[in-house]
């Protein structure tokens, strides 16, 4: 069977990598102490070999939105990159597969039962559709009510029968109100809506075996310090918990174990300084807030030499749960950072221009980062946070805010 179709994960190989990093054997381990017995006298130690991809990797299919303007016309698509063939993309022998869509997609939300289908949603606009990722076709458009627009994210109920979409009052009206719109999957008929318990909702995740919806709320504006992550009981539509994000706009979240009690990471956007214009937020640091399961939420401030480079929106987040490592991108700061989510400790950073999407390969061995205006991709080994230079390639066609790794 083709590697991109396999349904198992090499968890034992990940454990071996983690063990090697913590003191056992490692590809980057120092040479034996008695080096003189292993090389001729007077010779310098050999240069360490560059890290390479493991042929036993099961990396998966990288999927994300992209687009370009050609001859004055905008083209938008969903791009597909088989990471198990990354060497072919590096050499140029393979090219991404593109599924045209009629708007700039923000999030890709696969259906939990009909796994070849996915919803794609525009941020601040009327665009949304359902696609067949196997047949590479748009199945149907998804429409909202005239007074609202989609805000980029959505989630399916556990059984796939309902779609929960984040929708907001149109920006042209200068409002911050938003709701979770509930639709029947078969007909896409609007069944109802429920509140997010703050303003400017954006990201949402189904948790607790389908019972809870976690929602980021950007808040009402610089004079209203009400940004937060809310946890809503779907059946009763009641607020269960709220995690405040002081002084920033909560944008995206990642949470472990699909549980409201899991480790939580929240990426935030700063308010634009007065008089700086709509792009002024890109000149000041955003935020990364970490809340280990059962602990207190803390926005990272140290080391200052790192956090001051995290300009603008902290955009995409992903948690490597076995290692307790969260990765975060800041496009305006041209940086991707990695943190110990339990200790709130900075681990490592990489300077990558316009770092945007970040995801994990199916085997959890690598972080995958999309960056630069030419839609470059690079893999970073999770066990020791080393860039795999041999994985770097362009173009991937993935130039949007987010990407996922999936198996069809």
Task: Name the superfamily (CATH) of residues 52-406.
Answer: YVTN repeat-like/Quinoprotein amine dehydrogenase (2.130.10.10)
Name the average pLDDT for the chain.
90
At 356 the pLDDT is: 98
List b or e across 313-340, with b for residues whose CB sees 16 or more CB atoms inside 10 angstroms. Answer: bbbbbbbbbebebbbbbbbbbbbbbbbe
List phi, psi (to 5°) of 61.
-105, 120
pLDDT given for residue 43 in this prediction: 61
> Between 393 and 177, whose confidence is greater?
393
pLDDT score recorded for residue 42: 55
Q: Give residue limits of the domains in the chain.
A: 52-406
**Taking 70 as the threshold, does the pLDDT of residue 25 lie above it?**
no
- SS3 assignment, position 322: coil
Q: Is 42 exposed, middle or buried (0-12, 13-18, 19+ CB in 10 A)?
A: exposed
Residue 366 binned pLDDT confidence (cut-offs 50, 70, 90): very high
Count Cβ atoms within 10 A of the Cβ of residue 20 and give its class: 0-12 exposed, 13-18 middle, 19 or more buried.
middle
Please name the residue that has the structure tokens 């549980």: 259
pLDDT tens per residue, range 234-259:
999 999 999 999 999 999 999 999 99
Task: Indicate the SS3 state at residue 326.
Answer: strand
Q: What is the DSSP letter of 49?
A: P
Answer whether residue 376 shows pLDDT above 80: yes
pLDDT at 368: 98
Of all residues in the chain, what percent carry a pLDDT higher than 90? Answer: 82
Summarize the confidence of residues 47-57 as an average pLDDT.
89
What is the model's pLDDT at position 34? 39
Indicate whether 48 pLDDT > 80: no
Q: What is the pLDDT of residue 45?
A: 67
Q: Write the pLDDT tens digit of every residue in 308-357.
A: 999 999 999 999 999 999 999 999 999 999 999 999 999 999 999 999 99
Residue 16 has pLDDT above 80, yes or no: no
Whether the pLDDT of residue 208 is over 90: the answer is yes
Higher-confidence position of 222 and 9: 222
pLDDT tens sequence across 76-108: 999 999 999 999 999 999 999 999 999 999 999
């Amino acid at each position: 069977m083709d590697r991109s179709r396999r349904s198992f994960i090499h968890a034992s190989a990940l454990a071996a990598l983690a063990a090697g990093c913590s003191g056992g054997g490692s590809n980057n381990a120092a040479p034996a102490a008695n080096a003189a017995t292993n090389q001729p006298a007077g010779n310098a130690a050999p240069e360490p070999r560059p890290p390479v991809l493991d042929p036993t990797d099961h990396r998966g299919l990288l999927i994300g939105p992209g687009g370009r303007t050609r001859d004055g016309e905008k083209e938008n698509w969903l791009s597909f990159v088989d990471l198990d063939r990354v060497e072919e993309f590096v050499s140029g022998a393979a090219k991404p597969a593109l599924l045209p869509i009629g708007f700039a997609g923000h999030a890709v939300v696969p259906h939990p039962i009909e796994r070849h289908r996915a919803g794609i949603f525009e941020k601040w606009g009327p665009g949304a559709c359902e696609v067949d990722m196997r047949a590479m076709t748009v199945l149907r458009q998804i429409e909202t009510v005239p007074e609202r627009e989609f805000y980029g994210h959505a989630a399916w109920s556990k059984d796939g029968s309902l779609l929960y979409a984040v929708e907001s009052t149109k920006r042209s009206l200068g409002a911050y109100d938003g709701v979770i719109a509930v639709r029947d999957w078969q007909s896409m008929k609007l069944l109802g809506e429920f509140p997010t318990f703050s303003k400017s909702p954006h990201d949402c995740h189904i948790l607790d075996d389908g019972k809870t919806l976690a929602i980021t709320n950007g808040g009402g504006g610089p004079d209203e310090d009400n940004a937060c992550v809310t946890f809503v009981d779907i059946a009763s539509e009641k607020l269960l918990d709220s995690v405040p994000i002081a002084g920033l706009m909560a944008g995206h979240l990642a949470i472990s174990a699909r549980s409201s009690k899991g480790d939580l990471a929240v990426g935030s956007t700063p308010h634009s300084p007065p008089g700086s214009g709509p792009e002024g937020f890109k000149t000041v640091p955003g935020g990364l807030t970490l809340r280990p399961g059962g602990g207190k939420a803390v926005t990272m401030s140290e080391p200052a030499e790192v956090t001051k480079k995290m300009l603008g929106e902290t955009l995409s987040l992903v948690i490597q749960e076995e290692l307790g490592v969260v990765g975060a991108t800041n496009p305006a700061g041209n940086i991707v950072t990695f943190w110990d989510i339990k200790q709130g400790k900075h681990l490592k950073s990489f300077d990558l221009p316009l770092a945007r999407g970040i995801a994990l390969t199916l085997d959890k061995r690598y972080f995958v980062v999309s960056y630069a205006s030419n839609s470059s991709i690079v893999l970073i080994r999770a066990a020791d946070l080393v860039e795999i230079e041999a994985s770097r390639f362009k173009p991937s066609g993935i130039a949007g805010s987010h990407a996922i790794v999936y198996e069809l």
